[in-house]
């Protein structure tokens, strides 16, 4: 690979709700894409990396994404590489609002099947850099969005151009830190392990950070949904590979499953049921002694014959019916007593001028969630929210 060309990777990024969109989290692949170490960016404004010509539009996009509580949306814009000789790199930026932060990823953008796949799975695509129009997913009857060939800009700066950039920044909108939006939780998972350990949890709204950090993601997936969710994650991992076979981004996947808020031990797997032909000890070995087997069957038949000879079938049925009737009478008496106690308590509460609230359903820590899955070079991202269905 040419050392001057940008790496075809993606890094996970999280920014806050301030107008500066300050970095809260960056994964390590930011160095491969933009040349910065994570600690160089965290706490600084992400807008500092935006091309001056696109500053005001990107800032407005930041405000719109949060205020409209958007999820799984994609934008194409230019970001500055630390090496000045590499200039600005065209990037695909995915974004999802998670309560009080904006989470997503930054990846190298280039035409091809991956760009079409990413755009086709996003909820919305926003083109900010004009030359990125060919990366937008289009239907057959849509007009050709390709712009005319731009005039290459001069590499040298000019006072007029610098003055335009300052004017563009001055025109950019300003706003106070925006309030929290709908409740969503972002999880970053280890994509290189079978159990997908939880590396990061954005908040405590659905899962407790102290409870889930470091544990397998499947500890918090209901057992009945585990196989299904594993199959989804396998698909997402397959999407998140670039043309060179390296881990990268791969669009969005959507699903619904049950979360166990309190978790479980997903490493405990129930053994497969023993086939019926192996449940009888006499059939467990392929070389069982046929004489011993015949002898066993003979003894069983003799014992059964002795039992039938020593007891009358009519007597056995009569005893069994008597026991069954006695159990039914006992259950009816117990139900009647319970109903009398309930009526007595209700009458007492009515006399005191109060009524008991209806019994609350038992909470077993299960929560049905909608989920957005996406793969990136440094991990898998899962966005969870309570399902409305």
Look-up of token digits 């090496």: 83
Average the pLDDT over each of 83-87, 110-114, 148-152, 369-373 and give the range with the smallest value. 148-152
Per-residue pLDDT band for 169 (boundaries 50, 70, 90) equals low
Average the pLDDT over each of 37-41, 53-57, 189-193, 321-325 and give the range with the smallest value. 321-325
Mean pLDDT of 242-260: 88
The pLDDT value recorded for residue 248 is 85
Q: pTM of the entire structure?
A: 0.68
Rounded to the nearest integer, the mean pLDDT of the chain is 77
Residue 253 parent element (H or E): strand 252-260
Cβ neighbours of residue 345 closer than 8 Å, sequence gap 6 or more: 356
Per-residue pLDDT band for 337 (boundaries 50, 70, 90) equals confident
Summarize pLDDT for 75-119 with one digit per residue, the tens. Answer: 999 999 999 999 999 999 999 999 999 999 999 988 888 888 888
| CA nearest to 93, candidates 80, 84, 101, 103 | 103
The pLDDT value recorded for residue 290 is 46
Q: Cα 121 vs. chain centroid, distance in angstroms? A: 15
* CA-based R_g, the chain, Å: 33
Summarize pLDDT for 122-134 with one digit per residue, the tens. Answer: 999 999 998 888 7
The pLDDT value recorded for residue 348 is 63
Task: Give whole-number Cα distances, 275 to 184, 269, 283, 324, in Å.
Answer: 45, 18, 11, 33
């Amino acid at each position: 690979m040419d050392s001057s060309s940008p790496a075809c990777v993606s890094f996970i990024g999280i920014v806050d709700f301030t107008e500066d969109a300050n970095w809260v989290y960056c994964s390590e692949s930011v160095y491969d894409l933009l040349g910065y170490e994570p600690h160089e960016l965290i706490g600084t404004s992400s807008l500092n990396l935006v091309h001056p010509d696109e500053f005001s539009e990107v800032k407005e996009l930041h405000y719109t994404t949060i205020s409209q509580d958007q999820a799984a949306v994609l934008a194409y814009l230019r970001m500055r590489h630390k090496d000045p000789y590499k200039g600005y790199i065209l990037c695909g930026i995915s974004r999802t609002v998670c309560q009080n932060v904006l989470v997503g990823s930054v990846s190298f953008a280039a035409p091809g099947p991956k760009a079409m796949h990413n755009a086709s799975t996003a909820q919305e695509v926003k083109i900010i850099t004009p030359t990125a129009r060919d990366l937008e997913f289009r239907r057959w009857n849509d007009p050709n969005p390709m712009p005319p060939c731009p005039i290459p800009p001069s590499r040298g700066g000019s006072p007029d151009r610098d003055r335009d950039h300052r004017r563009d920044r001055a025109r950019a909108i300003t706003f106070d830190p925006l309030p929290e939006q709908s409740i969503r939780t972002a999880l970053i998972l280890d994509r290189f392990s079978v159990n997908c350990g939880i590396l990061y949890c954005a908040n405590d709204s659905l899962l407790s950070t102290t409870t889930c950090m470091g544990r397998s993601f499947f500890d918090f997936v209901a057992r009945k949904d585990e196989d299904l969710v594993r199959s989804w994650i396998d698909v997402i991992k397959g999407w998140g590979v670039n043309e060179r076979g390296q881990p990268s981004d791969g669009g969005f996947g959507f699903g619904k499953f049950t979360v166990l808020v309190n978790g479980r031990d997903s490493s405990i797997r129930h053994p497969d049921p023993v086939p019926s032909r192996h449940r009888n000890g006499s059939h467990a070995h392929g070389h069982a002694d046929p004489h011993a087997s015949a002898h066993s069957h003979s003894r069983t038949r003799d014992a059964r014959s002795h039992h039938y000879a020593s007891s009358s079938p009519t007597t056995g049925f009569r005893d069994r019916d008597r026991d069954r009737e006695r159990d039914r009478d006992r259950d009816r008496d117990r139900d009647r007593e319970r109903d009398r106690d309930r009526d007595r308590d209700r009458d007492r509460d009515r006399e005191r001028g109060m009524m008991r609230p209806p019994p609350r359903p038992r909470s077993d820590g299960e929560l049905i969630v909608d989920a957005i899955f996406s793969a990136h070079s440094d991990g898998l991202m899962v966005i969870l929210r309570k399902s409305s269905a």
